[in-house]
Amino acid sequence: MAFVAIVCFTLVAIDFWNSWHARAVQLRQMNVATSNLARAMAQHADDTIKKADTALVGIVERVEHDGTGPAAIDRLRKVLAAQAAELPQLDALHIYDENGNWVANSRQKPPENLNNASRAYFVFHRTHEERGPHISIPVKSRTNGKLLIPVSRRISHADGSFAGVALATIEIDFLMKFYDSLDIGQAGAVALVLENGTMMTRRPYSADVVGRNMLDTELFRTYVAGGPVGTAQIKSAQDGVTRLNSFRRLDGYPLFVAAALSKDEILAAWWRETLWHTAGVVLLVSLAGFVGWRLVQQVELRTQAEGELRRARDALETLNKTLNTLAMEDGLTGLANRRQFDVTLDNEFNRAIREAGTLALILMDVDRFKQYNDIYGHAAGDECLQSIGQTIARLASRRPGDLAARYGGEELAVLLPNTDAAGAAILAERIRSAVRELKIVHTGSSDGFVTLSAGVDALSPVPGTGQPKELIQSADKALYEAKTGGRNRVCISARPEPV
């Protein structure tokens, strides 16, 4: 399960990292695109204004040199008309005297009684001695109603006093034609802004936007804080759209341009691609998770099956042991049965031959047991044998190799490896005495209680001579002697020498 989880997490993490990296690359590429767009806009605006300003330089020099006499004015009007015709961005060229009255302009039909002394550009030149160009806030033409950007220069008398203004008016529509040709998407925006915070023009275009104060907008604050060139993600104060903005100041004039692409449009393709391959990763992770889950289930089932097999094997081994025990154990007394006795006798006999050891046998018989059954019944006889068997097992099974067995009926036997006849006789006497101390009442016995007789024999077998049955025969013979000698006693076989 941990492995499956790690694989799924790794797939998701790799997909997330790839998607995030692709997003960063897309934004970085669009950052370069908006920077290039702002550079192009700044160059276009600078060229547009510079051409108009260059015309003004010549006009100011001519007026200051030739004066404003009738002949000079006639020649000047022709010059203004020719220059205006060469510059498509211009609405008109104008000359005003120190009182703001019209002196000459480039129109074929000049206006009458026109005074511009109240215009911001006129007031600026009248109060400032700077001879450089001045760009004022957009104005609406009094003759044709067009929105115009005034570019003006001061005209001075020979003594340096104010003599009037030379004015070139640039059509905002000219700039808008260029801005409309730019591919900025459905929600992109471009703008030209005066450094005093006045909006000159903007796409998407609206007449209400021209001349709007931009001082409190995030775009203007970012421009002021970031310097002449920069890029930032900004939420527009105009329409609330978040865009990637690049801004750049014009080289020669107090204006800056801003080119902005919608962040949503920039990331639209990235989102589509991300959703597709994320869906693929989710499907793959789901498949891997399902396969892993099924695999884990199979492993668990196999583990359970193996556990059940182990339990079945253990149960079978236990059953086999139980069956083996039942096969080798006497059901009444709990002692070894005749089969186990015979097998053990053969094994111990062969061991004694290999190790040159001794093997002793105690063969016992309950005295007058038939009479006991006749008097007390077979159930009491079984209980009597059980008690005697427990006593023999307690006394005769103290060493791992010793074996106490029910030889048959009321006959019992104890097999004692590495024991001589004397040692076996001592144990036999202990057993006889312990059975007598059970004080099992037996009215058919001369003693009044249940007793047993025992015959003991031991031998040290030599390879090639003797058989296990000889040990049984000699012990049985000794038991017979104990029986005929009065019962309730132990007799040792009268073997002269070990076989």
Nearest residue to 358 via CA among 423, 417, 424, 422: 417
Q: What is the mean pLDDT of residues 178-199?
A: 90
Per-residue pLDDT, 497: 46
Per-residue pLDDT, 17: 83
Nearest residue to 361 via CA among 314, 275, 284, 427: 427
Per-residue pLDDT, 67: 85
Taking residue 193's Cβ as centre, other Cβ atoms within 10 Å add up to 23
CA distance 262 to 266: 6
CA distance 412 to 389: 8
What's the pLDDT band for 430 if we cut at 50, 70, 90? Answer: very high
410 among known catalytic residues: yes
Please say if the pLDDT value at position 324 is more than 80: no
Please say if the pLDDT value at position 498 is more than 50: no
- 278 touches 15 (CB < 8 A): yes
Q: What percent of the chain has pLDDT over 70?
A: 96
- List, as one string, the DSSP characters of 303-338: HHHHHHHHHHHHHHHHHHHHHHHHHHB-TTTSSB-H
Per-residue pLDDT, 428: 94
- 225 touches 216 (CB < 8 A): no
Per-residue pLDDT, 111: 65
- For residues 407-427, one letter each, b for 16 or more C-beta atoms within 10 angstroms of the residue's C-beta and e for the rest, the string is beebbbbbbbbbbbbeebbeb
CA distance 216 to 232: 16
Same fold across 2-30+43-172 and 174-268 = yes
Per-residue pLDDT, 151: 94
- Is the CATH number of domain 338-492 3.30.70.270? yes
Fold (topology level) of 174-268: Beta-Lactamase (3.30.450)
Q: Return the bridge partners of 416, or none.
A: 360
- 105-109, 324-328, 490-494: which is most confident: 490-494
pLDDT tens, residue by residue, 63-78: 988 888 888 888 888 8
pLDDT tens, residue by residue, 263-282: 888 777 877 887 887 888 78
Catalytic residue among 410, 411, 429, 470: 410
Mean pLDDT of the residues in the chain: 87
CA distance 224 to 195: 9
Decide the pairing of beta strands 134-135 and 102-105.
Answer: unpaired
Instruction: Mean pLDDT check: name the lowest of 94-108, 211-225, 230-244, 435-449.
Output: 230-244
Amino acid of residue 351: R
In the chain, domain spans:
2-30+43-172, 174-268, 271-324, 338-492
Per-residue pLDDT, 397: 76
More confident residue, 427 or 16: 427
In terms of C-beta distances under 8 Å and separation of at least 24 residues, what long-range contacts does 181-185 make, across chains too?
A: 182/37, 182/40, 182/41, 182/259, 184/37, 184/259, 184/260, 184/261, 185/261, 185/262, 185/265
pTM beyond 0.75, yes or no: no
Instruction: Mean pLDDT check: name the lowest of 29-33, 130-134, 245-249, 299-303.
Output: 29-33
What's the pLDDT band for 323 if we cut at 50, 70, 90? Answer: low
Diameter over CA atoms, the chain: 182
Per-residue pLDDT, 326: 63
Residue where the block lists tokens 């050891």: 357
Q: What percent of the chain has pLDDT over 90?
A: 45
Please say if the pLDDT value at position 499 is more than 70: no
CA distance 351 to 1: 58
Q: Across the beta sheet with 189-194, what order do the strands follow?
A: 199-203, 189-194, 255-262, 242-249, 229-235
CA distance 247 to 231: 6
Per-residue pLDDT, 320: 78
Q: What is the mean pLDDT of residues 451-480?
A: 89
Residue where the block lists tokens 């253990």: 314
Decide the pairing of beta strands 102-105 and 139-140.
Answer: unpaired
Q: What is the mean pLDDT of residues 285-310?
A: 85
Fold (topology level) of 2-30+43-172: Beta-Lactamase (3.30.450)
